[in-house]
Chains A and B, each alone.
Chain A
Amino acid sequence: ETGVTQSPTHLIKTRGQQVTLRCSSQSGHNTVSWYQQALGQGPQFIFQYYREEENGRGNFPPRFSGLQFPNYSSELNVNALELDDSALYLCASSSLADTQYFGPGTRLTVL
């Protein structure tokens, strides 16, 4: 059974640019959640996708957007990058309302 994978591992961008992060969910899971973990902080919920529809959103601006594909993989897009967007972005997959299993994360640095 393949676990949750994320790509890329590391990414460096400059302010104002756009970035796309990718997540492949664990086999059998239909729900993907995204979290932002700033340095020294706990992860914060960005949004969740269930069967290709957004199913809950945290306190993040609209420049954070996402997609879920028919195979339940997912993308997180961030437009107009700001310095404070530098963080570890974690993807978690699950069956809806069940335990979330996390990927290794993508480390985004905004210069």
Chain B
Amino acid sequence: AQSVTQLDSQVPVFEEAPVELRCNYSSSVSVYLFWYVQYPNQGLQLLLKYLSGSTLVKGINGFEAEFNKSQTSFHLRKPSVHISDTAEYFCAGGTSYGKLTFGQGTILTVHP
């Protein structure tokens, strides 16, 4: 069975600092990987996705992630964060028929 693990439940960071949110997955089949962001009292917004091809994926709002098959990781990075990036971030893995398995979430808090 596929599982997704987010290694940090909370990540505090100062504004304009770089950030990395860590995600590991396990699967014996081909996977699709996603990062979603959830602002308070809202649904999920897609940040970026990896389906195939280049292992470095660029998304919205300056975020990027790198698919690393040997380490079964899909870490999310941003070189310089803003206050508005404060939110909860979810890593998710999908199968070809679309069921998504989510991690537990990482709360990113950006301090001024």
Contact = CB atoms under 8 A, between A and B. Distances in A.
Interface residues of A, number: 29
B96 A97 contact: yes
B39 to A, nearest CB: 10
B36 interface: yes
A42 B104 contact: yes
Interface stretch (B44-52, B63-71, B77-85): B44-52
A97 B42 contact: no
Interface in B55-112: 90, 92, 94, 96-105
A97 B98 contact: yes
B43 interface: yes
B43 A55 contact: no
A45 B100 contact: yes
A86 interface: no
B102 A102 contact: no
A43 B90 contact: yes
Given A44-B102, A45-B100, A94-B98, A99 B44 contact: no
Interface in A27-42: 31, 33, 35, 40-42
A104 B98 contact: no
A49 to B, nearest CB: 11
Nearest to A107: B41
The 4 closest A-B pairs by CB, nearest first: A42-B102, A102-B44, A102-B43, A104-B43
6 contacts: A35-B100, A48-B99, A56-B97, A90-B43, A90-B44, A92-B44
Interface of B: 4, 34, 36, 41-46, 49, 90, 92, 94, 96-105
